[in-house]
Amino acid sequence: MKLNLAIVALALAVPTASFAQDSTAVSNGEYPNTFSSGSANVSPFTQKSKRFNDWAISVGAGVPLMQSADLTSIKNGNGKNLFGYSAYVSIDKAITHAFGLKLQYDRGETRQGFFSTKDSAPTDLAVSQRLAARTQYDAISILGDINFSNLLRRVDNHSTYRWALHGYAGVGTLAYRAYLKDGSNRQRLMTEVKPFKFNSLFGQVGTGLKFKVNRSLDIEGRVMYVVTGDDQFDGGGAKYSAINQREENTSDNFFNATLGVTLKLGKHESHLMWHDPLQEVYYKLDVLANKNQDIEVCKKGDADNDGVCDDWDRQLDTPAGARVDGAGVALDTDLDGVIDLYDKCVTVP
């Protein structure tokens, strides 16, 4: 019995739910359904109905600095100031005005240790410091993009919107080749990790400041912190080697500072990430508030002065003093053919 009732209920619910999600019903002149939230101004969201561009391509280059590792790119006891190189290219998709996704490819080389691998080991260094390394890496990641400037913008801020602060975070796969050079002045390949392996997973998080040059081009300065999750990324070799015992951390991490440009694709005048919906609403309200609307009452006048405009008066020659209905017709309460103004007995037919 319960099974039969469930089947009947499902049979009734499916077409009802289907109609409730049909936003095109309004365009056919029917009453707005559940999906339209009672608004008659609804329509299907298609490519043709889009008002803003939402695709872009970004490219940039910069300098990676190994910060948390047994061999670093910063003069902090585990190395000296050494600068590598990095570059990235990404395909960007704006989901909303405040959130988007990036599919990004990174390529670069970090340089860490107490001297450059291009040079010979300095003889004035202690034996334990005659270490230099470089790591060539390639990475593919998916990044979430939060537009903080759009998300936190004040509703009463009507200033020009040309700067935007973005936050990024994501994960991906990291492939690298780490080389080490010691006092023997021989450069050796210590570790190689292939992409799309379990031990190649990494994460990165950071922030960027964008400047809108024009409708098609943005400039961005970005700083990302890359967590490799690997203690051999810096060229220290095996997990328990003498180099990897210098620090207790088990993940070699680095900063990546870049400067890049974003090419916004599409035919529309503005990109979705540069659009503030609240400003559009307030702009339209201001336009309505400042618009002078001259309301003209009784455009055709009221020739018989019965209080009903001639635009919808059905009796334009109502006698003066006669009471009228909403259509401007003189009242005849007893329906005897004599209007109440002249009828001596308005209650007797």
Give the pLDDT confidence score for residue 238 in this predicted structure: 74
Mean predicted confidence (pLDDT) in 121-139: 89
Percent of the chain topping pLDDT 70 = 81
Q: Report residue 16 as tokens.
A: 């009802």
Give the pLDDT confidence score for residue 311 in this predicted structure: 79
Give the pLDDT confidence score for residue 197 in this predicted structure: 81
Tell me which of 136 and 231 has the higher pLDDT.
136
Mean predicted confidence (pLDDT) in 258-285: 86
Give the pLDDT confidence score for residue 186 in this predicted structure: 87
Percent of the chain topping pLDDT 90 = 41
All structural domains of the chain: 50-277 (2.40.160.20), 292-348 (no CATH)
Mean predicted confidence (pLDDT) in 12-30: 46
Cβ–Cβ under 8 Å, residues 326 and 306 = no
CA distances from 177 to 65, 73, 238 (A): 17, 17, 13
Mean predicted confidence (pLDDT) in 68-81: 87
User: First vs last Cα of the chain: how many Å apart?
Assistant: 67
* C-alpha closest to that of 258 among 58, 20, 28, 23: 58
Cβ–Cβ under 8 Å, residues 247 and 78 = yes
- Check pLDDT > 70 for residue 37: no
Mean predicted confidence (pLDDT) in 159-164: 86
Cβ–Cβ under 8 Å, residues 101 and 93 = yes
- Check pLDDT > 90 for residue 174: yes
Tell me which of 12 and 217 has the higher pLDDT.
217
Q: Grade residue 349 by pLDDT with cuts at 50, 70 and 90.
A: low
Q: Grade residue 240 by pLDDT with cuts at 50, 70 and 90.
A: low
Give the pLDDT confidence score for residue 40 in this predicted structure: 52
Tell me which of 110 and 315 has the higher pLDDT.
110
> Average model confidence (pLDDT) for the chain?
82
Mean predicted confidence (pLDDT) in 288-297: 69
CA atoms within a 13 Å half-sphere pointing along the CA-CB vector of 50: 18
**Lowest pLDDT segment from 104-118, 213-227, 228-242, 290-304:** 290-304
Cβ–Cβ under 8 Å, residues 64 and 73 = yes
Q: Grade residue 23 by pLDDT with cuts at 50, 70 and 90.
A: very low
pLDDT tens digit sequence for 177-229? 999 998 788 889 999 999 888 778 999 999 999 999 999 999 999 999 999 99
